[in-house]
Amino acid sequence: MIPRQALSQTIPGNGHTVLEALLAPHRAYLEPVRRLREVVEIKGLAHITGGGVVGNLPRILPVGLGARIQRGTWPEPAIFSYLAPFTPDEEMWRTFNMGLGMIVVVDEASAATALRLLDGEIFVVGDIVASEQRRVQILE
């Protein structure tokens, strides 16, 4: 649990308090998704809300597939490093989006096109793999 006094602390390298970072409005994804749909086939979209990555991404996967997410492949907001000592890692992934507000699934052949189109807005964060369970494996 985050101590109450921690909410007013400034996040190092960020300039915002913990409370400001937690209450910041989410990013709107409609326009980038529209642009992406014009050039590549989107296989799936997962809006990472309550339940985090591990709760939302499996919902879009068909039976027989899972996902591997490689931590460190996207810019993770400083708030998560600040909160980590107060929150078990498993809870961080379930409660927060870890900086992944939307996950777009495209086939491997379309990944480079998507990256060029939305340069700096999207990142390759993992892959879809065969799996008996629709689950997300977080690779550190």
Which residues of the chain register pLDDT less than 50?
Answer: none
Model pTM? 0.88
The answer to whether 133 touches 66, Cβ cutoff 8 Å, is: yes
Q: What is the pLDDT of residue 125?
A: 98
Q: What is the pLDDT of residue 81?
A: 86
Please count the structural domains in the chain: 1
Let me know if residue 83 belongs to a domain.
Answer: yes
Q: What is the pLDDT of residue 1?
A: 65
Let me know if residue 8 belongs to a domain.
Answer: no
The answer to whether 123 touches 73, Cβ cutoff 8 Å, is: yes
Q: How many CB atoms lie within 10 A of CB 56?
A: 19
The span from the CA of 20 to the CA of 10, in Å, is: 9
Q: What is the pLDDT of residue 43?
A: 97
129: domain range? 29-139
The span from the CA of 131 to the CA of 19, in Å, is: 38
Let me know if residue 5 belongs to a domain.
Answer: no
Let me know if residue 37 belongs to a domain.
Answer: yes
Let me know if residue 23 belongs to a domain.
Answer: no
Let me know if residue 84 belongs to a domain.
Answer: yes
Residue 60 sits in a domain of what CATH number? 3.90.650.10
Let me know if residue 21 belongs to a domain.
Answer: no
Let me know if residue 1 belongs to a domain.
Answer: no
